[in-house]
Amino acid sequence: MAAPRRALIVVDVQNDYFDAEGPLAIQYPPRDESLANIVRVLEAAQPAGVPTAVVAHQYPEGFPVFAEGSEGQKVHADVEARAHDGWKRATKSLASVFPETDLEAWLRQTGADTITLVGYMTNNCILGTAADAERLGVDVEVLSDATGAVNLTNAQGSVPAQQVHETLMTLLNSNFAAVADTKTWLQALESGEAIEGSSLPASASASATGA
């Protein structure tokens, strides 16, 4: 497996996800733990020369979450504390980071063939970006302990955040991404190795045989 040329995309690590009373408070993994891992990834990326994009969700003024100019829409202070001039910045209002931004062109400019996704939410922007990247012909890595989900309830049922997150990590690893924890990714970054995911046939076969 050839050494990956990575770019890091930090997705929506914003204050509204950390408001314990808000509707989008990250529930699993614990948000303080996932944030600490995001910081670890950022601190490793810069000296390793990994191009980094920091993306923020934004809606118009007065919107209940991520309203332009609001405190909740701001990128978390722990991320901003690691900011440097080399960061690429972007805002969006859709799940995928690509349609409304110039991040696809940025990736081409950096020469990256692999994107590492950290941030929020597993069940929206991480999932949407990983699936959308397929059409770009780039590989995707998702860090399971540097992302996070919320509890979900709608007409189809109620699912706790842990089940949402763990199910989507399995789904992503079956086709759209190579999923690993932060420790494994840091080791791969140091060694220059790729992280190996599964595939849909392999995942389905393993399930059928009980492996």
- Sequence spans of domains, the chain: 6-209
In the numeric block, the tokens 């990326």 are attached to 45
The model's pLDDT over 63-94, given as tens digits with 9 standing for 90+, comes to: 999 999 999 999 999 999 999 999 999 999 99
d(CA 128, CA 122): 9
Cα separation, 209 vs 211, whole angstroms: 5
**At residue 203, does pLDDT exceed 90?**
no
Residue 209 has pLDDT above 80, yes or no: no
pLDDT above 80: residue 210: no
In this prediction the pTM is 0.96
DSSP character string of 134-147: GGGT-EEEEEEEEE
Which residues lie closer than 8 Å to 171 by C-beta, 6 or more apart? none
| Interatomic CA distance for residues 4 and 10, integer angstroms | 18
CATH fold group of domain 6-209:
Rossmann fold (3.40.50)
Provide the pLDDT for residue 211: 61
- What pLDDT band is residue 1 in, cutting at 50, 70 and 90? low
pLDDT tens sequence across 118-147: 999 999 999 999 999 999 999 999 999 999
* CB 160, CB 122: distance < 8 Å: no
d(CA 124, CA 132): 12
- pLDDT, residue 47, reads 96
Q: Convert the pLDDT of each residue in 2-55 to its tens digit.
A: 789 999 999 999 999 999 999 999 999 999 999 999 999 999 999 999 999 999
Residue 117's H or E segment, with its range, is: strand 114-120
Distances (CA, A) of 120 to 38, 76, 109, 144, 188: 11, 12, 25, 11, 22
